[in-house]
Chains A and B, each alone.
Chain A
């Protein structure tokens, strides 16, 4: 019997509202007991001193771009799965935008096999909604589900064709699986590179108007209501989206939403540097939107935080703002960026922030994780809540770790990541059992 007792930790499990000092026993890769009596401990139990740190369920990401096959200059399944561990993610949903895209059972199988060998975070597969991610015909959703896809998305491409979304939502009802839509109306987004506002006006850069997102969210909410399908919109970035989601939730429409950490922390003023690192999806918005989003995460109008991990090779980002692709690495900064932006614990409790980063994403994706519940797989992390650290690209595991947060002073850090009872990541000098 392989067992581990984590002692002197602050146990937080948003799934059951638990937040107190305690001991947590893992046996054979599963959570076995909270505060077990010494008599009940297995004979050869290893002990881990958490030293007052937070012990929480591993984080769960709804959309991580792993880019393999076809775009492995950006990220690979191996590098992404290990960057995930360093960020405290024990489960990630891999995006479908590989080349070829994940629109066939074989492609699902490829990712699953590579991920199993990587021995990093658990990698779940998101299949394409449409064949070849073209946004026209439905992909073989049933066969993709059978091969192991847990959700469907053409992200980062938006689902522009409303008829396709309606059909797919209706069809997926019989499989009970969700669609993840990145809400955007392409003809309103145009060739925009940044938030459409005073800053874009001054800089002469093409803007991405908030209406491009708001209209897509409005459509998605209405289609979710009409079809009864499972629909998740994310990432959202506007006050308009927040307003629509708030009204939808009051009417008990089954729609969920997520936001990216960078949209909680940075504003469009950063584009004044004309640095393509700030060209991200969704775009950095004005302070009004940033504050509104933080508030919506705290109140729960926005259910989840997703990383928006879209690493792009340096040679692609080393370009002017029109030519450089959207995207940034964020697996390794997501927790700290969110905690810093929401000013945890005074602005928002740890219980709540872990709900958004772990429990809710697991529920939305319909996968295990997001809890310390007895009998569940032992996916957990240790967090040093007071740690202040400066983001340094060079220290990261992602093969293209460029982030607009480089040089930022962030609060809190994941010190250990355990997947299925196995310690797979530990910061240098961290505790050993």
Chain B
């Protein structure tokens, strides 16, 4: 790896945001800038494997109040691929355990001189609070069931690489919509880019209110399979459920697991996605997860590209605000 072939990227004029908190508040143009930039970075780094020096000297703090391996590592790698340093903060054994509020914790980390705080927290809205309290950029890496914007972006980027015209697509999000931040980020992002979105799952986990908000609601996967170009199979979030929303995993799998048999009823070019971690045998059968229509591992690679784009765009907007060269 070397850092000498850094492309001189023109900074997109349409990008002014210093934080990435959710996709709901972004415009289609802003989402497209993020996706285009991610694609650029992916292409320029040989699939996110090579290193650039665009952000050397800057520091990214991973401030995770909830467990995460893949998202945290993905952000760390993205920062390193752009030449930035990273600092890791996990809540266990930290001051949070001693009664400090998360805002104070974040301010302490910020005072160590960081440029981005990547925040994961079990409560919706915590990155929004941090964005008001901190001077550096805040990136939402998942706030409870609310949003996980970089996950939504990497899902959409993966779809776009295979099917460039999103307006012709029907995408179904299947599973635990109620507790899924991935679902919410996908819903807003896909709708803004013109795709038709179906939310599908047990009626205890898919509120009829989604229809009021303009999304198609389905409870029987078999009824919609033939219309779907993309299936995004969400994990059942047992840890967030207070009362069990369905009788058994066995019954859930029978109704919603993507199996070989269901593949036969689907469009031949259907894309199978999953944000992971996947529960083989619950929402997806092993042969489907590993099959030719699965793009699950492409999603992971795209995740690094999306996070590189996010870090770079936020740093650019912040620099511009402070009157510095981008």
CB contact list, A193-216 vs B, under 8 A: 197-198, 201-205
Q: Contacts A198-B212, A203-B124: A191 and B102 contacting too (C-beta < 8 A)?
A: no
Cβ of B97 within 8 Å of any chain A Cβ, yes or no, is no
Q: Is the CB of B144 within 8 A of A201?
A: no
Bound together, the chains give a CA A274 to CA B129 distance in angstroms of 7
Contact B101 A201 (CB under 8 A): no
What is the bound-complex CA distance between A323 and B129, given in angstroms?
A: 13
For chain B, the bracket of interface size reads 20 to 34
Bound Cα distance from A202 to B121, whole angstroms: 17
- B325 in contact (CB, < 8 A): no
Q: Is the CB of A201 within 8 A of B242?
A: no
Please give me the residue from chain A that is nearest to B145 by CB atom: A204
Of A198, A202, A273, A320, which one neighbours B102 at CB under 8 angstroms?
A320
A201 to B210 Cα, complex, angstroms = 8
Are A321 and B213 within 8 A (Cβ)?
Answer: no
Q: A432 on the interface (CB 8 Å rule)? A: no
Residues of B within 8 A of A274 (CB): 124-126, 128-129
Asked if B24 is an interface residue, CB under 8 A from chain A, the answer is yes
Contacts of A202 in B (CB 8 A): 24, 184, 213
A190 proximal to B (CB < 8 A): yes
B51 — which chain A residues lie within 8 A by C-beta?
Answer: none
Q: Does A319 contact B (CB under 8 A)?
A: yes
Q: In the complex, A205→B145 CA distance in Å?
A: 7
Query: What residues on A are CB-neighbors of B307 within 8 Å?
Result: none
Q: Which residues of B contact A318 (CB under 8 A)?
A: 101, 103
Does chain B have a CB within 8 A of A322? yes
Interface string of B134-164 (1 = CB under 8 A from A): 0000000001111100000000000000000
Main secondary structure of the interface of A (DSSP, over half): loop
A320 to B, closest residue via Cβ = B123
- Could you tell me the distance in whole angstroms from the C-beta of B254 to the nearest C-beta in chain A? 27
Shortest beta-carbon distance, B23 to chain A, in Å? 12
Chain B proximity of A87: nearest CB distance (Å)? 29
Q: Which residues of A contact B181 (CB under 8 A)?
A: 204
A299-334 contacts to B, CB under 8 A, are 315, 318-323
- Which residue numbers of A lie inside 8 Å of B, CB to CB? 190-191, 197-198, 201-205, 273-275, 315, 318-323
Q: What would 14 more interface pairs be, CB under 8 Å, given A203-B146, A273-B128, A322-B123? A: A190-B242, A191-B242, A198-B209, A198-B212, A201-B209, A204-B146, A205-B144, A274-B125, A274-B129, A320-B102, A320-B121, A321-B124, A323-B101, A323-B123
Interface residues of chain B, those whose CB is within 8 Å of chain A, are 24, 101-103, 121-126, 128-129, 143-147, 179, 181, 184, 207, 209-210, 212-213, 242
23 CB < 8 A contacts A-B: A190-B242, A197-B209, A198-B209, A198-B213, A201-B207, A201-B213, A202-B24, A204-B145, A204-B181, A205-B124, A205-B146, A274-B126, A275-B129, A315-B101, A318-B101, A319-B103, A320-B125, A320-B126, A321-B124, A322-B122, A322-B144, A323-B101, A323-B123
